[in-house]
Amino acid sequence: MNHCDSTNKPERDTSDLVKAAVSGWLGTALEFMDFQLYSLGAALVFHQIFFPEQSAAMALILAMGTYGAGYVARIVGAFVFGRMGDTIGRKKVLFITITMMGLCTTLIGVLPTYAQIGIFAPLLLVTLRIIQGLGAGAEISGAGTMLAEYAPKGKRGIVSSLVAMGTNCGTLTATAIWAVMFFVLDKEQLLAWGWRIPFLCSVVVMIFAIWLRLNLKESPVFEEAQSVERHAGAARSADDSSLSAMLRSKSFWVATGLRFGQAGNSGLIQTFLAGYLVQTLLFDKRIPTDALMISSVIGFLTIPLLGWLSDKLGRRMPYIVLNIAAIVLAWPMISMLVDKSTPVSVIMACLILIHNVAVLGLFALENITMAEIFGARNRFTRMAISKEAGGLIAVGFGPVLAGIFCNMANAWWPIAVMLMLYSLIGLLSAIVMPEVCDRDLGAPEDAIKSAEPRIAGQSARNRYS
pLDDT tens-place string over residues 263-282:
999 888 887 887 788 778 88
pLDDT, tens digit (0-9, with 9 covering 90-100), for 385-437: 999 988 888 877 788 788 888 889 999 999 999 999 999 999 999 999 999 99
User: Rounded to an integer, what distance in angstroms lies between the CA atom of residue 179 and that of residue 286?
Assistant: 13
In a domain, 2, yes or no: no
User: Rounded to an integer, what distance in angstroms lies between the CA atom of residue 89 and that of residue 2?
Assistant: 21
CATH number at residue 163: 1.20.1250.20
Smallest CA-to-CA distance from 383 within 274, 266, 258 is with 258
User: Rounded to an integer, what distance in angstroms lies between the CA atom of residue 148 and that of residue 157?
Assistant: 8
For the ranges 27-36, 40-49, 178-187, 424-433, the lowest mean pLDDT is seen at: 40-49
pLDDT of residue 47: 73
Banded model confidence at residue 2, pLDDT cuts 50, 70, 90: very low
Most confident of 50-59, 121-130, 413-422: 413-422
- Count: domains in the chain: 2
User: Rounded to an integer, what distance in angstroms lies between the CA atom of residue 344 and that of residue 286?
Assistant: 11
- Tell whether 309 and 430 lie within a shared domain: yes
- Tell whether 272 and 149 lie within a shared domain: no
Last-in-domain residue among 235, 265, 285: 235
Q: Whole domain around residue 359: which residue ranges?
A: 239-465
- Tell whether 209 and 280 lie within a shared domain: no
In a domain, 7, yes or no: no
In a domain, 379, yes or no: yes
User: Rounded to an integer, what distance in angstroms lies between the CA atom of residue 434 and that of residue 454?
Assistant: 16
In a domain, 328, yes or no: yes
Average pLDDT over residues 250-259: 95
- Tell whether 303 and 182 lie within a shared domain: no
Tell me the whole-structure pTM to 2 decimals.
Answer: 0.84
In a domain, 69, yes or no: yes
- Tell whether 247 and 380 lie within a shared domain: yes
In a domain, 3, yes or no: no
pLDDT of residue 129: 86
Please indicate whether residue 13 or residue 410 has the higher confidence score (pLDDT).
410
- Tell whether 88 and 174 lie within a shared domain: yes
Residue 447: pLDDT over 50: yes
In a domain, 1, yes or no: no
